[in-house]
Amino acid sequence: PVTVYANQDIASKKVARRITDLIVSKQLKGENAILGLATGVTPIGVYRELVRIHKEEGISFKNVITFNLDEYFPMKPTSPQSYVIFMKENLFNHIDINMDNVHIPDGTLPIEEIHDFCLSYERKITELGGLDLQILGIGRTGHIGFNEPGSAPNSGTRLVTLDDLTRRDASRDFGGKENVPTKAITMGIGTIFKAREIILMAWNQKKASIIKKAVEGEISAEVPATYLQLSENVEFIMDQDAASELT
Ligand code: F6R
């Protein structure tokens, strides 16, 4: 299903409330909430609202375990462009999550250790009972996570090569495309698909044409987000601008 909100602020608040409702319902059962998280500009409003809810309503994140979708490779966790820093600044530093419960792909590994790392990332998710909720943005290549065009629907966590358009879109953060890493570690399409609920968010006119392809286009590896049409558990949440090309 597709839900269109008047603006991204209202939409982000709805998504944040879905997340805290999940956290609280798990707390009542004495269980953990297992969340799949995204970076980029799209989820920033959701994270801001989660921080507000934590501070003003006192909802605790002590029972929350998180797995981020991706990280650039190579990337130091202390580098300002790292997704580790992004997550700390936008969310983790402002809530009471136990940092031992936070998982982000490791951009510092020697290349020969990446394969085992990726398998253990998948295994940890599975051993915890799987992701309760995965949130996603969408890249202009149609990527989800960093599953660029050509990604297989059953792909797992792995090292990938970033699309040129993705690197161009990231160039501002890095002060030039030549400084953007050429690779990343990302959860696979198959990893994402196992989540019990998936919410893909998109805001702004800039995303309108890729959203049209993702939601209404033929399912194909050329636009990996089209695979989401195959899942019963996906909701596309967008603002009016991102929805403007939908029929
Ligand atoms: C980020 C991620 C990417 C972004 C996508 C959109 O963890 O996995 O798929 O969601 O590139 O980025 P923004 O939100 O910056 O437009």
Domains within the chain, CATH numbers bracketed = 2-239 (3.40.50.1360)
Q: What is the whole-number distance in angstroms between the Cα of residue 40 and the centre of ligand 1?
A: 5
159 dihedral zone (left: phi>0; alpha: psi -120 to 50; beta)? beta
Q: From the CA of 145, give the closest atom in ligand 1.
A: 8
Contact assessment for residue 237 and residue 46, using Cβ atoms and an 8 Å cutoff: no
Q: What is the pLDDT of residue 49?
A: 99
pTM of the model: 0.98
Q: What is the whole-number distance in angstroms between the Cα of residue 237 and the centre of ligand 1?
A: 14
Q: From the CA of 83, give the closest atom in ligand 1.
A: 7
Q: Ligand 1 pocket by C-beta < 6 Å: which residues?
A: 38-42, 69-70, 137-139, 143-146
Q: Which long-range contacts (CB under 8 A, 24 or more apart) does 94-98 make?
A: 94/51, 94/54, 94/55, 95/50, 95/51, 95/54, 95/61, 96/54, 96/60, 96/61, 96/62, 97/61, 97/62, 97/64, 97/66, 98/62
Q: What is the pLDDT of residue 26?
A: 98
Q: What is the pLDDT of residue 152?
A: 98
Query: What one-letter code names the amino acid at 160?
Result: V
| Residues of the chain under the 70 pLDDT cut | none
Q: What is the pLDDT of residue 130?
A: 98
ipTM (interface predicted TM): 0.99
Q: What is the whole-number distance in angstroms between the Cα of residue 93 and the centre of ligand 1?
A: 21
What pLDDT digit, counting tens, does each position of 41-82 carry? 999 999 999 999 999 999 999 999 999 999 999 999 999 999
